[in-house]
Amino acid sequence: MRPSPVSLARKIKPIPSSLQVFSQPPSADRILSLPRFVSRAKVEERTSILPAPVPRNHEIKPPTLIEMLAARKLAAGAQWPPNIRIEPVISRATWAPVRKGIRSKLKKMLREE
């Protein structure tokens, strides 16, 4: 009978936190690539610590092509060419409460022909 994982875990002694286990001794390249932490006490007060850079996802997203065309259509008014049609963007979540048989009919009605 195999021993349970709980009984095996009880037999294992925890490794002391001051002990580091390496499969191979670290090479000079590996030691240089490890991050170096400096305590605040060692940093002079006059030197400034730079904040982390702002993530790129905070940048303003450019407008989509449909948004740009809709804005042009509003600005042009009656001058907008009738052969250029902009259909509204309707997500699947909008159609979720509508019954299956009615969905296709409503979608056809929304399309300009």
- Record the tokens describing residue 43, joined without a space: 């940093």
pLDDT (0 to 100) of residue 74: 92
pLDDT band at 16 (very low <50, low <70, confident <90, very high): low
CA 88 to centroid of chain Cα atoms = 27
pLDDT (0 to 100) of residue 20: 57
Among 86, 112, 66, 93, residue whose Cα is nearest residue 103: 93
Domain boundary assignment for the chain: 62-110
pTM of this structure: 0.37
Write out pLDDT tens, residues 48-89: 777 777 777 767 788 889 899 999 999 999 999 988 888 878
